Every structure is written in C-alpha cells, then in structure tokens.
C-alpha cells in the first residue's frame, strides 16, 4: 500500500487534501473538512460523513453547491459525535443544518448524539437517512437497507436546494424525496484490503464474483462464477427495476468501487444503458467514475434516481467540489 503506517492513513490523507484544495478548511486534528467560506449567510448547512476508505465520499463533495462540511472517521468506522457537532457549529448561519446520514448503525447512532449536542448549542438540526441499496436487508453493518451510491444524489441535489436559499424544512424534504427515488446495487470482482488488516476482508476465489455487496467489504446476497459485463448489467439493473419500476426519467450513476479502470466502467455503462433502453426507462443524465468506493475493491455499483423537472434542475445546478464540478 502507498502509505506510511496504518495508524496515520487518515491524517496523512487529510494533510494531502488540505494541500491540494486551498478552498477547503481541513482540520486534521479534529477531522473536519469545511468549505472555506462557511457559514454562508442565509443558507442551510449540509453536513455528512462516515468512515474513510470511500473517497471521494464525503470530503470530496464539500464545496459550493454540495456539502458544507464532512467528517471522516477511521477506515470503515463512523466519525464521533464531537466531530459532527463541531462541523455543524462551523457551518450554521442561523438557517439550520441538515445531517445526511448513510444507514449504517455507527453512523446513525453517532449522528443522533451529534444532533443533540448541536441543538444544546442552539443549532437547529434536521436529519435524512440514506438507505438506497436493494441487495440485502439487515446486513453486517446495519438494520434495514444500506446507504450507498444514492448518497451522492442526495448530497448534490440537497446542496443545490440549500444554495438557492431554501428553508431547512424544504431542503430536508427534497433530500428525503431523492432518497426515496434512489435505488442501488453493487458487485465485487475482488475483496478490498484495509490498511490495518493488510489482507482481504472476505475470501473471493479467482473466477468468482459477489453480487449485492456493500461499501465496507461485506459480502453480498450471492456468489456466482464470473459473468460478462452485459450479464452483470442485466442482473444489477433488473434487481433495481424490480424494486422501483421508474415512472419518470432517471439519473444514472455507474460507480467504480476503487480499483476498476474507467475503460471497464465506460464499457459497463454501455451495457447498463442497453438494459434501460430494453426496459423502456428514459435516462436524463449519466455519471461514470469512482465516487463511492471501497478502498481497493474491484467492482461497480449502479444507482438510479427518478427525477422530475425540479430535481433535474437542481442536479444540473452549479457545483464546485474536489470530485464534482460543473456550471461554475
């Protein structure tokens, strides 16, 4: 691994991020990443976070038009409540703060405690739980469905609503709508390796793949012999459409899990688009790349989000973060 020692992986990454993006304020000691112009007068603050190892989620999504702050925990470990409360205080302009929380037990519990701490300090807090994964329920890390690729759609669209000066109640409502309209399915071609463990998180023999994985290296719903890109697209997209038959156009995220080259992701996207055409699903926008990762896992996930005219306009609205940039 390209590291010094496992114990300093997160701190080293934060120091490097601070050097690369001077428009962010990166507190390495307290592990909080904040847009430099925060708090923005009249705007709801958006705070998210989670274990490290999923980059660019969440720190790479901090900036105008998206998150106000992000809190990185240790690798695959929730940040602590003090981090989140500190972030909320840093971005609160008096309009309130929305916590965007992936449905993993540690994240849920710690964000709940952070909301209490923030409210004790006079910050109005609302929370939205992201639970878009259709693959499994009640997994190793959570009760109910996991929060995965849909997090990107929630953070971007809610961030655009906040940038327009919407109220906390309205930004929360939009974020909930995006989550309700989003579904994801992930596939692993290899397990990931955490810095502390130094070996794969689960055993996946050569010539096999895992269908329905999460973003912490946890196994999925079933294991099969290796499939072609087209066969994987058929399986993943059909699993999503069975759970959510779209009644409107969709945003498509073809996401890499960290070690899959863009050459393969673009080829996989061609197959995803084929399945959607065959199923009569209209595609409004498509994003391809590594956005919600699992360290060095080879694999992909597909996320679909149904959008109306307002949600599509908010998706297209300007954004300037390390990982997403358009319109500015």
pLDDT recorded at residue 139: 65
Catalytic annotation present for 58:
no
List of residues 6+ apart from 71 with CB closer than 8 A: 31, 32, 33, 47, 48, 49, 50, 58, 79, 83, 84, 87
Q: How many Å apart are CA 290 and CA 205, to the nearest integer?
A: 24
The pTM of this model reads 0.97
- Annotated catalytic residue, options 216, 233, 260, 301: 216
Q: How many Å apart are CA 52 and CA 64, to the nearest integer?
A: 22
What are the backbone dihedrals phi and psi of residue 12, each rounded to the nearest 5 degrees, phi first?
-60, -40
Catalytic annotation present for 54:
yes
- Annotated catalytic residue, options 26, 44, 48, 54: 54
Q: How many Å apart are CA 182 and CA 154, to the nearest integer?
A: 9
pLDDT recorded at residue 136: 77
Any idea which residue has 């990443």 for tokens?
33
C-alpha closest to that of 88 among 146, 163, 30, 141? 30
What's 254's DSSP letter? E
Q: How far is CA 285 from the centre of its chain?
A: 18
Q: How many Å apart are CA 234 and CA 255, to the nearest integer?
A: 16
pLDDT recorded at residue 141: 62
Mean pLDDT for each 10-residue chunk of the chain (328 residues)?
96 98 97 98 98 98 98 97 98 98 95 98 98 82 86 98 98 98 96 89 88 84 95 98 96 98 98 98 98 97 98 98 95
Neighbours of 318 (CB within 10 A): 12
pLDDT recorded at residue 142: 67
CB-count burial class (<10 Å; 0-12, 13-18, 19+) for 277: exposed
């Amino acid at each position: 691994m390209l590291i010094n020692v496992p114990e300093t992986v997160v701190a080293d990454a934060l120091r490097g991020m601070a050097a690369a993006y001077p428009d962010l304020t990166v507190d390495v000691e307290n592990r909080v990443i904040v847009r430099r112009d925060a708090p923005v007068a009249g705007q709801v603050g958006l705070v998210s976070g989670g274990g490290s190892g999923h980059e660019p989620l969440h720190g790479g999504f901090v900036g105008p038009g998206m998150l106000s702050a992000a809190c990185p925990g240790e690798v695959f470990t929730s940040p602590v409540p003090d981090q989140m409360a500190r972030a909320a205080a840093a971005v609160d302009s008096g309009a309130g703060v929305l916590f965007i929380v992936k449905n993993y037990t540690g994240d849920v519990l710690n964000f709940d405690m952070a909301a209490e701490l923030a409210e004790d300090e006079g910050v109005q807090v609302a929370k939205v739980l992201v639970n878009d994964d259709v693959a499994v329920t009640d997994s190793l890390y959570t009760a109910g469905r996991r929060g995965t690729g849909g997090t990107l759609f929630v953070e971007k669209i809610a961030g655009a609503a906040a940038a327009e000066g919407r109220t906390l109640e309205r930004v929360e409502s939009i974020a909930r709508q995006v989550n309700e309209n989003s579904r994801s399915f992930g596939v692993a071609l290899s397990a990931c390796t955490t810095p502390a463990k130094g070996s794969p998180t689960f055993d996946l023999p050569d010539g096999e793949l895992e269908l329905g994985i999460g973003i912490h290296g946890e196994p999925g719903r079933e294991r099969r012999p290796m499939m072609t890109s087209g066969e994987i697209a058929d399986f993943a997209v059909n699993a999503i459409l069975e759970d959510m038959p779209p009644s409107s156009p969709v945003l498509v995220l073809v996401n890499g899990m960290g070690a899959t080259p863009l050459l393969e992701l673009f080829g996989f996207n061609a197959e995803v688009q084929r399945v959607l055409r065959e199923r009569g699903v209209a595609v409004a926008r498509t994003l391809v790349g590594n956005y919600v990762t699992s360290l060095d896992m080879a694999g992909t996930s597909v996320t679909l989000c149904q959008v109306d005219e307002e949600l599509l306009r908010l998706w297209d609205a300007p954004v300037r973060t390390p990982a997403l940039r358009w319109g500015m």
